[in-house]
Structure 1
Amino acid sequence: AWNFDGAGVHWLPHIWGTEGVAYRTDKWLPAGDAPSYGDVWSEENAGKTMGRAHSMMLGAGLYMEASGAMEPGSVWAAYGDEDTMRDVWGKITDWCMARKDRIKLIWNDADTQKNGLLNEGVVVGQTWDGPPLALKAAGEPVHYQAPVEGAMAWVDGMSMPVGAKNEEQVYAFIDYAFGKEAAGKAIDSHGYNSPVLGADTFSGDVYKKNFAEAYPGDSLANLNPWPAEAPWYAEVRTEFVNKFKSA
């Protein structure tokens, strides 16, 4: 998948992370060993939660599957064709709209996530891993963890545009960035994770501790890689997201 059309055009995975559940440890703790996407929508936490509209709706769908409100596998089957997607997302949207008043904040970037947890009264939220782990590393009472339904995994990468100059320097940079030591120092700085095997051996104790506590037990085996989105999927999803946001 990273050698497009077999034409020698490559995309290199550079960093990866997840979207899961963050919470204020001084104000709330999950009932079991791990939080759930459902905690963001619960009556218990009403008015004290946050998420990004489209992904918190997907998280709600995974919770609906786990709690028996929707057939298992529905959320991922929705990526297959538009009819299935409209059926699945119609159910998700109705469920979310009925609980919209429980959501305090809808975020769009890292700073909004941090501010929500620190200053806006948010107790639990569906977030990226980086922002809450940065707060945790700074000593704030914040924890991030993969939920019982499985964290949603993403990966960012590098490619070189056609016509780029200084190709020799580009390849020198790539050789450096994908070395274990450089990759380990980088993940210490930005807080996300590296696909370079052995990079973690060059990271600090804070990163190692945060990673182990964010993905305990079988969390890494239970990741949900975010599927590729067809143009029609993104379009239809926007319809449902707008319906939810305007409710």
Structure 2
Amino acid sequence: MDDPLVQTLATDPRKGAQQLYQQIQRRLAKQAAVEAAFQERLHYERPFWSRGQRVAGIDEVGRGPLAGPVVTCAVILPPDFDVPLVNDSKQLTAKERERLYPIILDRAEAVSIGAASPQLIDQLNIYQATRVAMQRAVLGLGVAPQELIVDAMQIPVDLPQIRLIKGDAKSASVAAASIVAKVFRDHLMASYDRLYPGYGFAQNAGYGTAEHLAGLAERGITPIHRKSFAPVKKAMQIE
């Protein structure tokens, strides 16, 4: 706001100049709020960075769908990471997630994906399969973290863990992991849509939408369906 051009607008009595000045005020205020919220989401990372330690954020996507794997991601951000738009993936549009995805991959110190197949989900249950997928993501990191920040889960690895409710909204590392996991899984389900057309996987990501349920009724199940989930069980009985 102390830019000379902006100050000139502030003292310009013309209506158009005042409208532009107010527009700039609102935009800068919004940017400042986004930046402040981002700095707050670095609250859990900073103590480790100050000691020269690495901390990894871990999140998952795909616990609720009827088809496809549950996908997890572990991300280690560097202390100079500064991408204020990185937030809980659910708070972002698909376009924003797609734009942030390569930025996170480029600027993160390490990124790792873990997955649990529909077969493993059926074998263990969705909660335990998610823990296995998170374990795979952590063990797949190219560098070892000293601490984990996890979105409300306990991962079976021998590392200290900070467990946060809605961690993807409270930690930038978990938020980055949530974005990568979401985009990765969405791309995967779009590929499955080409392999198994008629269920709407590219649009519904395997969730039980009307199109998906209609596909189950008309076509039966596919190899990527979770047989332990009730709507899929029902479709198998009809077959």
Q: Tell me the TM-score normalized by structure 2.
A: 0.27
Q: Which structure carries more relative contact order (alpha carbon 8 Å, separation 6+)?
A: 1
Q: Tell me the TM-score normalized by structure 1.
A: 0.26
Q: More helix by proportion, 1 or 2?
A: 2
